[in-house]
Amino acid sequence: MTPTIVDSHCHLDFPDFDGEVEALIERARAAGVTRMVHICTRLAQEPKARALAEAHDGVFYSFGLHPMSVGKESPLTVDQLVAAARHPKMVGIGETGLDYHYTPESKDAQQASLRVHIEAAQITGLPLIIHARDADEDMARILSEGHAAQPYACVMHCFSSSAELAQAALDLGFYLSMSGIAAFPKSHDLRAIFAAAPLDRILVETDSPYLAPPPFRGKRNEPAYVTHTAKVGAELFGLSYADFAAATSANFDRLFTRAAAKAAAA
């Protein structure tokens, strides 16, 4: 039997997949990817994300405002996030975070938006999904301040930052998610960060349609390809692919408790 695995972060409503979502999901299932979390990053797209999750078993969604969109979109409120979180297939808050690489001009607004999302995670009990790029010091500080005020769960999505930020996140009980970047040949330092982390804090994702792992690098990514990243992760931890898939799926269930409960009830 094909081992089952979870794609913890993908974007199924991007134009790259227009007219192909059904086939995309079928290819994922054929590869053993029985569950996936579609990440909604704009208020206008939330109804479509909700409908997508409602239409497909094993597809869940999250909702938040991407930090690179903060300067272009109306800010989300805590009330909006909490209201959306009432839907049984909404399983996470975000993605949110800080991106000083592409959008440094909006960093103050990004920090304010991040704090709004943290508060929503604290209220709802849903995990926070974090995007971090070239903002390690502020990211560690804001996440730590929020956690000290009221603990919450969190995953550092597509983690590719410093070992220091990784340790700060792990110290707070957070998870690190491995994307196709970790499978790139030159990502030695990043693989070392993952290898040094506890196995029970590791997730895998595609971030599709971006960051396809080898042998698809440079092409459009899709949820089925999470298996290729997971095979690299299995090698890092000295495990078989089946055991690594089982471990990361168990980690997903501990973090995304609403998705786990839905699966258990099925």
pLDDT at 156 over 90: yes
Determine the pLDDT at residue 265: 80
How far apart are the C-alpha atoms of 227 and 250, rounded to whole Å?
16
**pLDDT tens digits, residue range 164-220?**
999 999 999 999 999 999 999 999 999 999 999 999 999 999 999 999 999 999 999
Q: From 1.10.8.60, 3.10.20.30, 2.40.30.10, 3.20.20.140, which CATH number describes the 5-265 domain?
A: 3.20.20.140
Q: Dihedral of CA 30/85/203/3: which sign?
A: negative
Q: What is the DSSP letter of 219?
A: S
Please give the structure tokens belonging to residue 80. Answer: 């909006």
The domain locations on the chain are: 5-265
**pLDDT tens digits, residue range 57-108?**
999 999 999 999 999 999 999 999 999 999 999 999 999 999 999 999 999 9
Q: Exposed, middle or buried by CB within 10 Å (0-12, 13-18, 19+), for 23? A: exposed
Determine the pLDDT at residue 263: 80
- Predicted confidence band of residue 132 (pLDDT cuts 50, 70, 90): very high
- 11 marked as part of a ligand binding site: yes
- 95 marked as part of a ligand binding site: yes
- 131 marked as part of a ligand binding site: yes
What are the start-end ranges of the H helices in the chain? 21-30, 46-55, 78-84, 107-124, 136-149, 163-171, 188-196, 226-236, 241-255, 257-265
**pLDDT tens digits, residue range 9-33?**
999 999 889 999 999 999 999 999 9
Determine the pLDDT at residue 191: 98
Determine the pLDDT at residue 262: 85
Q: Does the predicted model carry a pTM greater than 0.85?
A: yes
- 157 marked as part of a ligand binding site: yes
State how far the alpha carbon of 255 is from the alpha carbons of 157, 176, 240, in Å.
13, 11, 23
Determine the pLDDT at residue 249: 98
